[in-house]
Structure formats: C-alpha cells, structure tokens
Structure 1
Amino acid sequence: MVSYVNALLYGVGGIVVAGMALLVALQERLVYVPVGPGFTKSYAITPARLRLLYEDVWLRSSDGVRLHAWFIKLFPDCSGPTILFFQENAGNIAHRLEMVRIMLQRLQCNIFMLSYRGYGASDGYPSQHGITKDAQAALDHLVQRTDIDTSRIIVFGRSLGGAVGAVLTKNNPDKVAALILENTFTSILDMAGVLLPFLKWFIGHSVPKGPKVLNFLVRSPWNTIDVIGQIKQPILFLSGLQDEMVPSVHMQMLYAKAAAHNRQCNFVEFPTGMHMDTWLAGGDRYWRAVQQFLDQNVLENKAYVSSQHEKGSKTR
C-alpha cells in the first residue's frame, strides 16, 4: 500500500514538473500569438479598405528592430487627441480596424496603431523587454510630430496591450496625458494560474501567501499589478464582466491598487462585455464613458494649461 501511494505521489509530481517545464519552454508562444489559427501574419485588410485616411509609419526600436505602424486620422487637420493603441496578444492590428473606425468617429481623434515586433509587418520576435522598447519608439515618434497636439497623447491598451500601456505610461509621466485599460490582467503568472489552476500554489499575486517559486522562470511577467500603483496620470478602467479570458477580478484588483494612490481613476463595468467585444457590447455607454473621461481629464486640463499660459503672457 505504501509503495502504491509513493508511486502515485511520484507520478503526480512528475506530471506537475513536466507541466511546469513545458510552460516555461513554451511561454513566449503562449503569451504572444502573432498568427492566430486560420490566419496569416500579413494584414488581411488595411485602413484604405475602410476608406480611412492613414499613413504607413516605419520605426526603429532602440535595439534596431524595424517596426511598422499605421497613423490614422479622421480628417487631415484633426485637432483632437491622439490615441496610442496597443492591441491584445493574438493577431495583428488589421483585426482591430473595425473598432478603430468607430473610435475615430465617436472620439474625433487620431489613432496610432503599432505592430509589436514579430507581429504584422514588423521584424523580430516578441518579448516583454523588446515590446517595451517598441512602445517607447512609438511614443517618441508621436512626440516629435508637428501635426498633432503632443500634450494630448492618450495610451489605450486592451488585455496584453494594457500591460504594455501601463509600463509606457509609468515611464513617461511628461509625455502621456492619460491611460485607458480594458480587460487587462494583473500579471502573466496570475493568468497562468487561471489557465492551469494547480499552479496557484506556486505563483504570486493570486495566492499572496504562497511561495513564488516560478517568478524567476517567467521571461515575460508583465506585472501590471506592480506597475499600476506607480502611475500618476488619470486612468480609466473598462471591464467586461463576462470576460471569458481574463477574470474581471483582475481589473478590480488593478483599480484598487491604482486608486489607493491616484485620485484620478475611473472604473466602468459592462455587464455583458466579453474579452474582445466589450466595446461592442457596451454600445453608446462605452463610448460615452471614454469621452467623458477624456473631457474631464485631458481636454479640461489642456484648457487650464492654456488659460494659465495666456495669463502669464498678459503679465509679462
């Protein structure tokens, strides 16, 4: 009987170790999916297909990787804010064009869509270290443009894009006016615990008292829960309560961590929103929430800065 129990324990232990080894070995392929099932790496459509005014932009990340992006305007002299959009982990920027088309119309804005390294027409292979550099290259490009209002650059990230956007916003308090997060996870380790529940005994934030023995094995941790509390700019949290990929509690945890130090945080829930369609399920309420956030935290701040500048000019 004892030998049977020992054999069983060894067997279970072997399965757990093998599962962890497989997770570590394939983690990049699990986190980053530039080509989804049934799709190709190339763009299925371009903004021209939707009759959008756009510019192909080619960038170099700080480590030399060649990146592709689309800069889309509602019309040539659009003076609205510019949204730097970071997508989810699967597919490429072409798959987000229908949402972007509506965003342009509803928010009267410009939109910059970046292809992470390894995605779309961009070179290289995705990693947290590399994508962080890619995001910085995109922001630096926008700041140098003369055809937009660089004081109103808003970072918008969905799922993985929210993790990317949070890091960029934290690192650039003087360049990013505000951050919008939609259905974003607290960390990749926490997501591993969602996908493989037995790992909750080994990983971080989901089980705070548990040993964090896997932390050093993860090459792309994307610890948004640690980053979010360091952001000083206004943050809007958009959460789909029916999210089948990232449990909505992740967004609640991110909001609680941010709001403890930042009074400019808004949290909006959408009862029927799923991981990819919260913007669609939310309808008018979704876009009103975003517009109200921009009006209160970006447009009003710009008006205040302008009025202070005018007062200063009069006194000189």
Structure 2
Amino acid sequence: MVSYVSALLYGAGGIVVAGVALLVAFQERLVYVPVLPGLTKSYPITPARLRLIYEDVWLLSSDGVRLHAWFIKFFPDCRGPTVLFFQENAGNIAHRLEMVRIMIQNLRCNVFMLSYRGYGASDGYPSQHGITKDAQAALDHLCQRTDIDTSRIVVFGRSLGGAVGTVLTKNNPDKVAALILENTFTSILDMAGVLLPFLKWFIGGSGSKSLKLLNFVVRSPWSTIDVIGEVKQPILFLSGLQDEMVPPFHMKMLYAKAAARTAQRSFVEFPTGMHMDTWLSGGDIYWKTIVQYLEKYVPEANEEKSIENDKGR
C-alpha cells in the first residue's frame, strides 16, 4: 500500500514537473498568437476598406526591429485625444478595425494601432522585452508628431495589451495622460494556473514564493499586478463579468492595487461582457463611460484653462 501511494505521488509530481517544463519551453507560443488558426499572418483588410482616414507608419524599435502601424484620424485636422491602442494576443490589428471604427466615431479621437514585433507586417519575434521596446517606439513617434495634441495621448490596452500599456504608462508619466484597461490579467503565471489548473498546486497565487521563483524562468511574465501600483496617471478599468478567458477577479485585484495609490481610479463592470466583446455588449453605456472619463481626466485645452480659472477664483 505504501509503495502504491509513493508511486502515485511520484507520478503526480512528474506530471507537474513535466507540465512546468512544457510551460517554460513553449511559453512564447502559449502567450503570443500572431496568426489565428486557419488564417495567414497578413492583414485581411486595411482601414481603407472601412473608409477610414489613415496613414501607414513604419517605425524602428530601439533594438532595430522594423515595426508597422496604422495611424487613423477622426478627420484630417483632429486635435482630440489620441488613443494608443494595444491589442489582445491573438491575430493582428486588422481584426480590431471594426471596434476601432466605432471607437473613433464615439470618442471623436485619433487611434494609433501598433503591430507588435512578429505580428502583422512587423518583423521579429514577440517577447516581453521586445514588445516593451515596440510600445515605447510607438509612443515616442506620437510625441514627435505636430498634427496632434501630444498632451492628450491615452493608452488603451485589452488583455495582453493592458499588460503592455501598463508598463508603458508607468515608464512615461510625462507623456501618457491616462490609461484604460479592459479585461486584463494580473500576470501570465496567474493565467497559467487558470488555463492549466493542475499548476495551481505548484505555482500558488499572486505573491506566492513559488510564483516568484518561476518568474526567473518565465521570459514573458507580464506581471501587471506588480506594475499597476506604480502608475501615477488616472486609470479606467473596464471589466466584462462573463469573461471566459481572464477571470473577472483579476481586474478587481488590479483595481485594488492601483486604488491604494490614488483616488484617480474608476472601475466599471459590464454584466454580459465577454473577453472580446465587452465593447459590443456594453453598448452605449460602454462608450459613454469612456467619454466621461476622457472629459474628466483628458480635457480639451480650453476646458483645462477653465478648470484652472475656477480654481483661482
């Protein structure tokens, strides 16, 4: 009986070790999905298909990787907010065009859509280190433009894009006016525990010693929970309560960590929102929430002066 139990324990331990080994060996393939099953890496459509005013932008990241982006304007001389949009991990920026089209109409903004390295027409292979450089290259490009109001750059990230956007916003307190996160996870290792439940016994939860040890071997930890508390700018959290990929409690944990620093945090739940369609199922309320957030924290120059005058009275 004892030998049977020992064999069982050794077998279970072996499965866990093998699972962790596979997670480490194939982690980039699990985290990043530049090509959707059955489709090609190329863009299925361009903004022109949706009659959007846009510009093809080519950038070089600081390590020399050539990146592609689309800069889409509400109208040619639009000085409204400029949204730097970071997408989820699967597919490319073309798969987000319909949402961006509606975003531009509702927010009356410009949108800069970056293809991470290895995605769409961008060169290279995705990694946290590399994508962080890509995001910085996109922001630096926007800050150098003369056809937008560079004081009204807003970072918007969904899922993986939220992790990317949080790091960028934290690193650029003087360049990014505000941050919007939608259905973002606390960390890749926490997500590994969700997608591969047996790993929970090994990695524990956020803050566990085993989790911190694994961070040394995970090349793309994207530990948003460890970064969010360092963001100084206002943050809007948009959470779909029917999210089938990222458990909604991840967003609540991020909000709690961020709210401990400053009161400039807003958390809004959408009861029928799933991982990819919260913007759609949320309807008018979703867009009105963002409009009100931008009016409060990223006002037009004349509104800003009016607020300053009111304070001086």
Q: Same fold (TM over 0.5)?
A: yes
Cα 1:208–1:227 change in 2 (3 A) is: closer
Q: Which residue number corresponds to residue 236 of structure 1?
A: 236
Cα 1:173–1:14 change in 2 (3 A) is: same
Q: Distance in 2 between matches of 1:93 and 1:302?
A: 33
Q: Which residue number corresponds to residue 114 of structure 1?
A: 114
Q: Which residue number corresponds to residue 250 of structure 1?
A: 250
Structure 1: stretches of 5+ with no match in the other structure: 310-316
Cα 1:209–1:141 change in 2 (3 A) is: closer
Does the alignment pair 1:6 with 2:6?
yes
Q: CA deviation at 1:13?
A: 1.5
Task: Kindly provide the CA deviation profile for residues 172-191 of structure 1, in whole angstroms up to 9, marking residues without a partner as x.
Answer: 00000000000000000100
Q: CA deviation at 1:109?
A: 0.4
Q: Distance in 1 between matches of 2:129 and 2:85?
A: 19
Task: Kindly provide the CA deviation profile for residues 58-105 of structure 1, in whole angstroms up to 9, marking residues without a partner as x.
Answer: 000000000000000111111211000000000000000000000010
Task: Kindly provide the CA deviation profile for residues 246-286 of structure 1, in whole angstroms up to 9, marking residues without a partner as x.
Answer: 00000000001001102110000000000000000000000
Q: Which residue number corresponds to residue 211 of structure 1?
A: 210
Amino acid at match of 1:48: A
Q: CA deviation at 1:305?
A: 5.0
Amino acid at match of 1:133: K
Q: Which moved more, 1:126-135 or 1:213-222?
A: 213-222
Q: How high is the TM-score relative to the length of structure 2?
A: 0.95
Q: How many residues align?
A: 310
Q: Which residue number corresponds to residue 312 of structure 1?
A: none
Q: Which residue number corresponds to residue 103 of structure 1?
A: 103
- RMSD across aligned positions (CA): 1.8
Amino acid at match of 2:249: V
Does the alignment pair 1:197 with 2:191?
no
Q: Distance in 2 between matches of 1:109 and 1:300?
A: 12
Q: CA deviation at 1:222?
A: 0.5
Amino acid at match of 1:86: F
Does the alignment pair 1:294 with 2:294?
yes
Q: Distance in 2 between matches of 1:216 and 1:240?
A: 31
SS at match of 1:17: helix
Structure 2: stretches of 5+ with no match in the other structure: none
Q: CA deviation at 1:39?
A: 1.2
Query: Is this contact kept in 1: 2:16–2:202, CA < 8 A?
Result: no
Q: Which residue number corresponds to residue 187 of structure 1?
A: 187
Q: CA deviation at 1:142?
A: 0.1
Q: Distance in 1 between matches of 2:157 and 2:100?
A: 13
Query: Is this contact kept in 2: 1:87–1:160, CA < 8 A?
Result: yes
Q: How high is the TM-score relative to the length of structure 1?
A: 0.94
Task: Kindly provide the CA deviation profile for residues 2-32 of structure 1, in whole angstroms up to 9, marking residues without a partner as x.
Answer: 2222222222111111111111101000000
Query: Is this contact kept in 2: 1:202–1:210, CA < 8 A?
Result: no
Q: CA deviation at 1:209?
A: 4.6
Q: Distance in 2 between matches of 1:253 and 1:209?
A: 15
SS at match of 1:238: strand
Q: Which residue number corresponds to residue 144 of structure 1?
A: 144
Q: Distance in 1 between matches of 2:220 and 2:178?
A: 24
Query: Is this contact kept in 2: 1:235–1:266, CA < 8 A?
Result: yes
Amino acid at match of 1:236: L
Q: Distance in 1 between matches of 2:269 and 2:194?
A: 21
Q: How does 1:151-170 map to 2 (within 5 A)?
A: 151-170=151-170
Q: Distance in 2 between matches of 1:49 and 1:208?
A: 46
Identity %: 81
Query: Is this contact kept in 1: 2:19–2:199, CA < 8 A?
Result: no
Q: Distance in 2 between matches of 1:291 and 1:31?
A: 32
Cα 1:133–1:25 change in 2 (3 A) is: same
Q: Distance in 2 between matches of 1:218 and 1:302?
A: 47
Q: How does 1:2-151 map to 2 (within 5 A)?
A: 2-151=2-151
